[in-house]
Amino acid sequence: MNNIPNTLFDNWAKSYERTIAKHQDTYPFAGYFDVINHLRGEIQAYYSTPSILDIGVGTGYMLNKISEGLTADYFGVDFSSEMLNIAASKLDGNRLLYWDISNETIPPPIANRKFDFIISAYTLHHFDTVEKLKIIRNYKKLLNTSGQMMIVDISFDSIFEREQIKAKAGKNWDSSEEKGYFIAPEFLNHVQQLDWHITYLRVSFCLGVFIILV
């Protein structure tokens, strides 16, 4: 995963949700809870029993909130065992899979399944553009014919804007991650060249949602 060790996320697992709450109005998590409400509304508008795959499920907070009150058929994938241990306190542990999504093969338990929604939140920015597209292509095959892949991640409208937010964030800015942050027009162009249908929703000054259809 872009040479990021599992231990980084294992060590972050217990405090991860507190970090989100602390920075819910600032970089990098501004708009996080708005996204949950948006995705939940989108899913509930069309399905009462949706099938959902979360690649990069982390502690399971987002998937749990999105599927809350629904009879959802879900799976979550992550490469941090500690994140998955916490996720198992909210979600069915039998549906949480330890897996590195940069692996070109799909986890066997879901390899022959189809999903209405595939969610990736704060995960793909750990990869460069080539790797991002490779992962999307790999998992996009698991979508139902009317399915949607929803990529929730740190995103800016331009490199200039990214640098402005970087200056405001100061010591909180993660320079080791910035090369993977989405520049929305550039990413949209890459995807459109593949003839995939994609739309983009700007959520906050540092967060966006890319929606890719089959």
pLDDT on residue 76: 98
In a domain, 164, yes or no: yes
- The string of pLDDT tens digits covering residues 159-180 is 999 999 999 999 999 999 999 9
Beta-strand pair 51-55/73-78? parallel
Quick one: average pLDDT of 129-136?
A: 97
In a domain, 16, yes or no: yes
- The string of pLDDT tens digits covering residues 190-207 is 999 999 999 999 999 999
pLDDT on residue 204: 98
- The string of pLDDT tens digits covering residues 86-127 is 999 999 999 999 999 999 999 999 999 999 999 999 999 999
- The string of pLDDT tens digits covering residues 29-55 is 999 999 999 999 988 887 789 999 999
In a domain, 46, yes or no: yes
In a domain, 1, yes or no: no
* Domain, as residue range, for 17: 6-213
In a domain, 54, yes or no: yes
Quick one: average pLDDT of 136-144?
A: 97
Q: Strands (DSSP E) along 101-180, which ranges?
A: 115-121, 143-156
How far apart, in whole angstroms, are the C-alpha atoms of residue 176 and residue 180? 9
In a domain, 128, yes or no: yes
How far apart, in whole angstroms, are the C-alpha atoms of residue 16 and residue 154? 16
In a domain, 150, yes or no: yes
pLDDT mean across residues, the chain? 94
pLDDT on residue 1: 46
N- to C-terminal Cα separation, the chain: 25
CA nearest neighbour of 76 among 48, 56, 46: 56
In sequence order, what are the beta bridge partners of 199? 211
Q: What percent of the chain has pLDDT over 90?
A: 87
CATH number at residue 18: 3.40.50.150
pLDDT on residue 5: 58
pLDDT on residue 46: 79
Beta-strand pair 207-213/198-204? antiparallel
Q: What is the number of domains present in the chain?
A: 1
In a domain, 186, yes or no: yes
Q: Strands (DSSP E) along 115-188, which ranges?
A: 115-121, 143-156, 182-183
Cis peptide bond N-terminal to 109, omega within 30: no
How far apart, in whole angstroms, are the C-alpha atoms of residue 193 and residue 22? 38
* pTM as predicted: 0.94
- The string of pLDDT tens digits covering residues 6-24 is 678 888 999 999 999 999 9
Q: Is the pLDDT of residue 142 over 70?
A: yes
How far apart, in whole angstroms, are the C-alpha atoms of residue 73 and residue 164? 41
What's the token pair of residue 65?
């909130």
Contact 149, 198 (CB under 8 A): no
